Amino acid sequence: MSNKVDMYNLIVETAYKMFSKNGFEKTSLSMIAKEVGISKPAIYYYFDSKEKLIDVIFVGICKKIELKFTFTFENIDAKGFKQFMLSIGYQMIEDQENDKYFNKIFNEYILLATRNEKYLNRLYEIQKGFLKSYYDLVNYGVKIGAVEDKNIELKAHMLVMVIDNISNFIMTGFPLDYRGIWKEAINSVIKEEQYDQTLTI
């Protein structure tokens, strides 16, 4: 493959899968190079260390996560709010089901964060952003009359914890009705009259 950008992307994609399957410690640059089909010296043209490759993948994963909780909801009315909330979780579940590597490699970064403050701080900021986005979303639901003005922060945090744990269970391959679980979580924060209007959703 002569295109440098294509080779760079292939190395990143291959490393992403191999790190997910084998872990960071059991995956070397030479193993990645062999899988890609280039020599170990050749891979150093793109990444001068395994740590640099790990960093590049981490940056990409962080951006991907942040996009998932960047919500645009200003034009949603009370009747459409439940469907919007459902679609957020359903999309995340679908993404998890389609990418069998994501949770495993993300857990590698969580382990790495226990001994590397750089990763710990970045993951902490992501969690803060995740919680804030759901708080803003639930608070918006209160303003439009779709959510009761009570325990807003707790409701937001519950939804974050539910979707996060759904991701963990998907990783194990445990057969649960994840969409049904998310729907029940959403029903618990939507006002009863709004829930009654959307029973067919």
Q: How many Cα atoms within 13 Å fall on the side-chain side of residue 41?
A: 0
**Cα–chain-centroid distance for residue 165?**
11
For residue 147, report the phi and psi dihedrals to the nearest 5 degrees: -130, 140
pTM: 0.83
55 assigned to some structural domain: no
H-helix or E-strand spanning residue 106: helix 102-113
Is residue 86 domain-shared with residue 32, that is, in the same domain? no
Q: Based on the fold, state whether residues 17 and 95 are members of the same structural domain.
A: no
Half-sphere exposure of 62 (CA within 13 A, CB side): 19
**Neighbour tally for 155: CB within 10 Å:** 23
Burial class (CB in 10 A: 0-12, 13-18, 19+), 145: middle
Contact 159/181 with Cβ under 8 angstroms?
no
Q: What angle, 0 to 180 degrees and rounded to 10, lies between the N-to-C axes of helices 117-143 and 50-68? A: 10
Q: Do 38 and 67 reside in the same domain of the chain? A: no
**Lookup: tokens for 88:** 């957020």
Expressed in percent and rounded to 5, the helix, strand and coil fractions of the chain are: 75, 0, 25
Same domain, 113 and 191: yes
Q: Is residue 112 part of a domain?
A: yes
- Find the domain containing 21 and state its range: 4-48
Residues 171 and 116 in one domain: yes
pLDDT tens string, the chain, 201 residues long: the values are 458 899 999 999 999 999 999 999 999 999 999 999 999 999 999 999 999 999 999 999 999 889 888 888 888 999 999 999 999 999 999 998 888 899 899 999 999 999 999 999 999 999 999 999 999 999 999 999 999 999 999 999 999 999 999 988 988 888 999 999 999 999 999 987 654 544 444
**Count of structural domains, the chain:** 2
For residue 12, what is the domain's CATH number? Answer: 1.10.10.60
Read off the tokens for 50. 């395994």
| The amino acid at 156 | A
